[in-house]
Amino acid sequence: MTDNHARHHRQPGRLARVGGLRPWSLLAAGALAGGLLGGAYGTLRAPIYTATSYVVAVPTEKSDPASALGFAQAYGRAATQLAVLGEAQVWAGVPVPTLRRSVRTATSPDAPMVAVSATSPRPHLAADMANAVTRALTRHANATKASTHVELLQFSRAVVPTDPTSASPAVTGLVGLSAGGLLGGLALLVRPRRTGDDHPARPASVPGPTPAADVHGQL
């Protein structure tokens, strides 16, 4: 009876320790799975290269720097339009949908400059697309410089990139690790909670017999 009573008291503590490990195990498993998937994605995905060329808007004698700055903003938006990309595809050697997906422009509120960036798994193609778009944009802008009084000049050509701009496997692994840990934490929040009914029922205690009254003493 003594051994059974001791095992009965040790068993809840052992179950509590096991139950306490389950949430942390789920969190660790999610983080590990996310880290492995993120690292595999970064390793198997082809690296992406980015090349950037720059053009600058220059005012003519009949204009001023403020006008050049305003036209630079407009040229930055026009660089990805069909009229420019349709001409750029001839020099880039890729169709317009590819240019539309790969080319991005950026302008500055302080300088009349337009940056044209192109991304591709092939470094030479990235440089060719960026230079083709800036060439077409310059031709379109200068065709109307008699009326705009702003000339668009090439500031620097895009060079063939040597290093990829896509995330490395280490970075994607860390991102996957964080995402997996976050999903594991969310799973812990929504998991069913254990209630008191889940524990095995304890046998009801039976009160011991009450000593009989001393009848002889009362008499």
Nearest one of 137, 123, 23 to 80, comparing CA atoms: 137
- Residue span of the structural domain in which 112 resides: 49-156
**pLDDT value at position 18?**
40
Give the confidence band of 161 by pLDDT, cuts at 50, 70, 90.
very high
Q: How many domains does the chain have?
A: 2
DSSP, res 121:
S
Residue 156's contacts (CB-CB under 8 Å, 6 or more residues apart) are: 53, 54
Pair (75, 106) in one structural domain: yes
Burial class (CB in 10 A: 0-12, 13-18, 19+), 143: exposed
Give the confidence band of 174 by pLDDT, cuts at 50, 70, 90.
low
Report for 5-19, 146-160, 200-214: range of highest mean pLDDT: 146-160
Pair (66, 123) in one structural domain: yes
Q: Is the model's pLDDT at 108 over the cut of 80?
A: yes
Pair (146, 89) in one structural domain: yes
Give the confidence band of 21 by pLDDT, cuts at 50, 70, 90.
very low
Pair (147, 111) in one structural domain: yes
- Among 131, 156, 181, residue at a domain's last position: 156
**pLDDT value at position 181?**
60
Q: Is the model's pLDDT at 171 over the cut of 60?
A: no
In a domain, 186, yes or no: yes
Residue 142: both structure tokens together: 């200068």
**pLDDT value at position 14?**
46
Q: What is the largest CA-CA distance in the chain?
A: 134
Mean pLDDT confidence for 183-196:
60
In a domain, 69, yes or no: yes
Pair (108, 185) in one structural domain: no
Pair (152, 78) in one structural domain: yes
CA distances from 43 to 120, 167, 204 (A): 17, 10, 62
State the pTM of this model: 0.61
Q: How many CB atoms lie within 10 A of CB 150?
A: 25
Pair (178, 146) in one structural domain: no
In a domain, 213, yes or no: no
Q: In this structure, what CATH number is given to the domain that contains residue 134?
A: 3.30.70.1130
Stronger pLDDT, 60 or 129, i.e. the higher one: 129
Pair (58, 26) in one structural domain: no
Q: In what order do the strands lie in the sheet with 113-120?
A: 103-107, 113-120, 49-59, 150-156
d(CA 116, CA 104): 6
In a domain, 99, yes or no: yes
Pair (77, 110) in one structural domain: yes
Residue type for 31, please? A
Nearest one of 100, 96, 88, 97 to 158, comparing CA atoms: 88
In a domain, 216, yes or no: no
Let me know: does 45 contact 117? Beta carbons within 8 Å. Answer: no
Pair (121, 68) in one structural domain: yes
In a domain, 218, yes or no: no
**pLDDT value at position 26?**
59
In a domain, 207, yes or no: no
Give the confidence band of 75 by pLDDT, cuts at 50, 70, 90.
very high
Pair (63, 14) in one structural domain: no
Pair (109, 129) in one structural domain: yes
In a domain, 215, yes or no: no
